[in-house]
Structure formats: C-alpha cells, structure tokens
Chain A
C-alpha cells in the first residue's frame, strides 16, 4: 500500500503532463499568404471579401507604381507615396496628376493595414478599398483623375498588356475577365496591406538585437512617461491610437485637436482643413485629426495634416508649447487656447536636451529594411524587376 501511495504521488508530481505553451493563429498563415510579423505585432485584420494572396500583392505592387493608372498617364499611387520616404512625398501637401494641390499632406503607408480609419479625418473611411476610390476617381481635388470619359481607355491599357494579363489571371484565377476597377482596387489594397514595418532599431532593441544609446533611452522614457505624454496618442505597437487587427475587441477611433490653429480665437481651422468637423458639422469636432503612426517618422517630413511643420525638432517645440500661436495673417490666433483642443496637449516643461532625446528616440523608429525592401519597390525600375 505504502509503495503504491508514494509512487502515485511521485509520478503525478513529476510527470503528469508535458510543459510548454502552444499557440495556433489561423489568420496568421493561409495557403495563399503568410504574414511575416515581429513578435510584438498582432495579426492584421483582412476583410473576408479580399483575402491576402501573394499573387494579388504582386499585381497590386505593379499597379501601385504604374502611371497608366491615371487619366493623363502622368501619375501613379507611388508618385505621392515614395518608398524611401516611408511612402510619403516630402511635400507639404500632395500634388495631383493635373497639378492640383491636395489640401493635406500625403500620409505614410507603414503598417497601414492596422489603421482603423484611413486618411486624416474621415471616421467613415475604414477600409483601404473604400479609401482608394478617392485618389482614383475623386475630382476635388483631382488626384489620379480617372473619370467617366477615360475609365474604359485606362482599363484597356492593362487588358492589352501581356504582363498584366498574366498578373490579373494569377491574382484572380476564378474570373474570366479579371481586369476591372474592383480588382484593381483589391490588388492595390492587398499590396498596401503587405507594407509591414517592424524592424527598426527600436524593434530590434525589444529583442536585444540592437542597443539604444543613452539619449535614445532617455527619449523613450520621456515618450512613454507622463511628463511628455506622447504615448497617450502614440502608444500602441504602431505608435498611434487607432489600431485595428484580427483580434481587436474594442475598436477606438479617436481624433484630436492639437492646437495648430485658433483663427480669431474662435477655435476655427482653415477651410477645408477643419478635420472631422468637415463631415460632422459639430463644433467639438473642429480641428480634430487622426494621430498618425510614428513609425519611420524621421523620413516623413513635413509634419501635421497640412505639412505646416517642417522638422521633428519643431514638432517637439510645438507640443512642448501646448499648441501654436500664429501672430499675424489670415490664420492669426493662439492655438494653445483653442477651445476644442485636446486635454492631452498642454504646456510641457521640456528642456532642449529632453527634446533632443525624444527626437533621438523617434529616429530609432526608422526601419531601413522597410524603406529599401525590393518587395515593396517600383517594379518598373531596372533594379526592381
């Protein structure tokens, strides 16, 4: 009896089960697509009507960079979204294919798959497919300039191209006539979703593959601390506060007035750049814009929705002051006192060293591999077939 008792206790204690944790994420890998993500990144959400496939991404890459996808054949998506600038264009505001100025700054596309809303201030644009209708077909401002007069001709440019015939057939093998705008949009959206940036020095430091400098560490502590408070709007793995992924259970889509303007002390922003107010018409939405992801922020200047701040150092000065005071001109007004300004944007006592430390940290978010990854590059350039 005693032998049995002791044996039973010992066996149960020592060998009752194997150890370890196993995880299975069906959305992470499918027969047609496998996400390559850093460990700290969630699995992206992809809508069921446009699942990711490698062939679709490749077609999308070609279309993204093809100027034939504009009315006058002069611009492509890639004209305003340059890879080496994290898919921004370095301009204050974008310029369309006909030379018309866009009212806002071209947004970067790093990790755009995680954006809960797209563009600067449109809470209703929640998918890349819907958003893409704007640059393709929009007429105020004109971006790629596809309209009723040229849309058939533009499609013919691709229908008659042998390479595109192959690309479309591979991307949409179940369709007899795959060259259409629906598929063009799906393919470009798939390519954009593949633009994952997660190999910056900051990311590498999380897995001990890189070491941040003392200044960068101080900047990181300030960034994620209550003194500088940057993390409140830029605190997620993607350094923004609008994140949607495959496991999202609570979807938040905040927009913020950071005190850039306060025209005449009324709280107004310049038309037609008044943020969410342009759609909602509610006073409290005046000047509210989406906080962009800060990944690769060092190469996405100029900053803010209107590109009105040229450098990261100036951005830090702006936030430290709790807004911007414009003393003369039609936009004169003290943005620091904007009545609709976010409570998170207040006067912050940051000395020059602290500002420099935060800038140093922000520069660690640059992902050189992403900026030069041939998978994301223009296939029409000789070096990127």
Chain B
C-alpha cells in the first residue's frame, strides 16, 4: 500500500488523456490531471501568424513547469443506444486559469438494419472537421497545434449543436451538423451560425475523409484577444472601434484527412490538408474594404511503434495565405489586420515520443523547430498526464 501511495503521489502532477471513453460500464467518472514543462527560445505560441486573418490566440506560455489542466466529468451509458457525457476542465495559467464546460452531449445510436447505423449527437461537442479537431487537445499526439489548424479554427472548433452521422458496415460514412457557431472563425450571434458535413471511408488500417464547414460571420474581431482566453467564444464586432479590425462575411473550411498504416512495419502515416476561404468586409475606423482570403496548409505525421506502449512521431507542417483587399486605404487596413506581409510561409518540423502506461499514465516529449514570421524558434514540450480515476480503480 505505501508503494501504491508513493506511486500516486509521484504521478499526481501529471495529466490525463481520456475524455470520451470506450467502455461498457454504466458510469465512468473522468478525473484527469495534466502538467507540462516548456522550453521555448522565443514567444510560444507566436502572437500572430503573419499570413492568416486569425483571432483569439492566447498570451504566451511561461517557460518551465506548470499545471496544465484538471478535467472532471461523467460518462453514462443509459442504454445500449444512449450515452451522455459531461466534462468540465480547469486550465492553468497558459489558458487563463479558468473553468469551462467543454463537453456536454447526448448521443443516440440507432441500427437501421444490420449494415446501417444512424447516430445523433446533440449538445456541446468537438465538431467533426478533420480528425484532429474531433479530439480534445489534451489527447493530441503532439500538443503543439498545427499552424493551419490554428489559422483556420483557432485552438479547435468546439460548439453547441446537433450532429447526425450515418455509417455503413463496409466503412463508408457521412454526416451533417448544425451549430451555434460562436467561435473562431465565426463569432457570437443568434441562431445557427455554422453547418458542417463530411464523407469518409474507414478501414482497419486506413481512412480517408473530406469534411467541410460553412460559417456565417456577423462581425469578428481579427485582433489578438488574450483576455478571452480559453472560452472558445468570439466577441462580436459589428462596429469598428479604435485599434480593432473586424471581418464580416462568410467563412468556409474544407479538410481532407487520411491515414495509411503498415502494421507489418509498425508504421502509420497520416495527415490533414486544410483550406479556409473567407469573403466579406474587412473594416476598422480607417477603412471598409472588400476582402477575400485563402489560407491553406496541412501536416503529415509518421508514427513508428517501438513497443506496445512507446510511439515516436515525426511531423512536418506548413501554412500559406493569400489575401486580397479592395477599397480605400486597403494597404493601411492590411497593415492594421496584420496581413500586409503574408508572402512568407511558416513551417514547423516536430519530433515526439509518447509512452502510455497501463495505469492511465501518459508521458510525452516533443521538440519542434518552427519558422514563423521569419523567426526561427526551437521549442521543447514535456507533458505528464494521468487519468486519475483509472489509476484509483486499478489501485
């Protein structure tokens, strides 16, 4: 027992990975803890991507050890068909020391026949737009968010809404969703603000999926909003005020995600290619101009499994942006919006190592070299994660 207690104390300052859990238990509590160590030569995350009309990025993370998050939640299997999950997270200083309900949904699965299944998920959920966005960032293989994902959906698109998914036994699936759309690249407004759809093909070792989303943007601040922290909501910006640039129009995001695995070589290659197109008005007190912008990019990850518990990852990613502004003071507005000089392509290469223990413990280390806004930065991130409930039950 003392040994077990020692073990608990040893890994308490760590974090957890589980959110939605594959289980046949009726009640599954979620108690996760996470910590991290960061060393970054310059500011991380970079305050602004010069070639993206982005918003809501956070203030710089502190170097060194820090508490990352604590998740508390409960998943309930009410019947074979109905599952609910409610989970809240308290995030550390990196994300503003605040608590928020990150998932609160009900899932209903219905077998149409022996080959076809329909499922409906309603509530706050990670929206199926690509594969990585469907996972909480705590579960990502690499915690450092891909550049194009940041440029397209900030720190991930999580939203309140309804998602309907049809799946066929042979692997094909398609889905459709409608959401409130109050987060980047949209902004808080009344009614349905975003819709999404996807078509995919899933096999044991590979998948291919195309997903698209359309956002109605009723005025979005394009400035960095550090005070908004991790709320996943985007303040409305329908009137220009001093030192603020707003975008009003429509935003469309398309993602192609794919994976191929070679089990005999213990190797998996996967990746996602993102495209975001925006069209509308860009305005400030200085000007109102017609705006069109395209952001594209993606990442490729190679995963090699050394042992059952140990994986290594190599990821390469890039981002590019093209913007067109037409109207009086277009050049000034481009400068105000931070996109005047978008010819350089940020890119990043990362190497990661993840060890996943049997008792709900995960340790990961990742090192990246990124070139953003012509500055080269080396960063190293160590994460300690523990699924405390799993650990307690095992003890």
Chain B's closest residue to A45 (CB) is: B328
Tell me whether A248 and B285 are in contact (CB under 8 A). yes
Query: B residues within 8 A CB of A20?
Result: 322-323, 342-343
Q: A21-B340, A246-B329, A247-B287 are in contact. Are A9 and B324 (CB under 8 A)?
A: no
Tell me whether B331 and A9 are in contact (CB under 8 A). no
Query: B residues within 8 A CB of A24?
Result: 324-327, 330
Q: A13-B297, A21-B339, A25-B327 are in contact. Are A247 and B332 (CB under 8 A)?
A: yes
Tell me whether A18 and B322 are in contact (CB under 8 A). yes
Which of the 9-residue segments B99-107, B120-128, B191-199, B266-274 touches chain A? B266-274
Tell me whether B294 and A17 are in contact (CB under 8 A). yes
Tell me whether A42 and B287 are in contact (CB under 8 A). yes
How many interface residues does B have (CB within 8 Å)?
Answer: 50
Complexed CA–CA distance, A262 and B321 (Å): 58
| CB proximity to A under 8 Å, residues B291-348 | 294, 296-300, 317-318, 320-335, 339-345
Q: A9-B256, A16-B273, A17-B296 are in contact. Are A23 and B330 (CB under 8 A)?
A: yes
Query: A residues within 8 A CB of B208?
Result: 5
Tell me whether B300 and A43 are in contact (CB under 8 A). no
Tell me whether B285 and A249 are in contact (CB under 8 A). yes
Tell me whether B296 and A23 are in contact (CB under 8 A). no
Chain A's closest residue to B290 (CB) is: A24
Tell me whether B240 and A12 are in contact (CB under 8 A). no
Q: A6-B269, A8-B256, A12-B256 are in contact. Are A19 and B330 (CB under 8 A)?
A: no
Chain B's closest residue to A13 (CB) is: B298
Query: B residues within 8 A CB of A26?
Result: 326-328
Chain B's closest residue to A20 (CB) is: B343
Tell me whether B273 and A13 are in contact (CB under 8 A). yes
Secondary structure at chain B's binding surface: helix, strand, loop or mixed? strand
Complexed CA–CA distance, A23 and B322 (Å): 11
Q: Mark A208-250, 1 if CB is under 8 A from B, else 0.
A: 0000000000000000000000000000000000000111111
Partner of A19, one of B286, B299, B321: B321
Complexed CA–CA distance, A12 and B296 (Å): 8
Q: Is B187 part of the contact surface with A, judged by Cβ < 8 Å?
A: no
Query: B residues within 8 A CB of A9?
Result: 256, 258, 271-273, 298, 300
A71 CB to closest chain B CB, in angstroms? 40
Tell me whether A246 and B328 are in contact (CB under 8 A). yes
Q: Is A283 part of the contact surface with B, judged by Cβ < 8 Å?
A: no
Complexed CA–CA distance, A28 and B329 (Å): 8
Complexed CA–CA distance, A367 and B334 (Å): 27
Q: Is A40 part of the contact surface with B, judged by Cβ < 8 Å?
A: yes
Q: Is A279 part of the contact surface with B, judged by Cβ < 8 Å?
A: no
Q: Is A152 part of the contact surface with B, judged by Cβ < 8 Å?
A: no
Tell me whether A39 and B296 are in contact (CB under 8 A). no
Q: Is B260 part of the contact surface with A, judged by Cβ < 8 Å?
A: yes
Tell me whether B258 and A21 are in contact (CB under 8 A). no
Question: 14 other contacts beyond A19-B344, A246-B287, with CB at 8 A cut-off?
Answer: A5-B208, A6-B269, A6-B300, A8-B258, A19-B343, A21-B51, A21-B342, A26-B326, A39-B331, A41-B332, A43-B329, A247-B286, A248-B286, A249-B285
**Interface residues, chain A, with chain B CB atoms under 8 Å away:** 1-2, 5-6, 8-10, 12-14, 16-28, 39-43, 245-250
Q: List 9 A-B contacts (CB under 8 A).
A: A13-B298, A16-B273, A17-B296, A18-B320, A21-B343, A23-B330, A25-B331, A245-B286, A249-B286
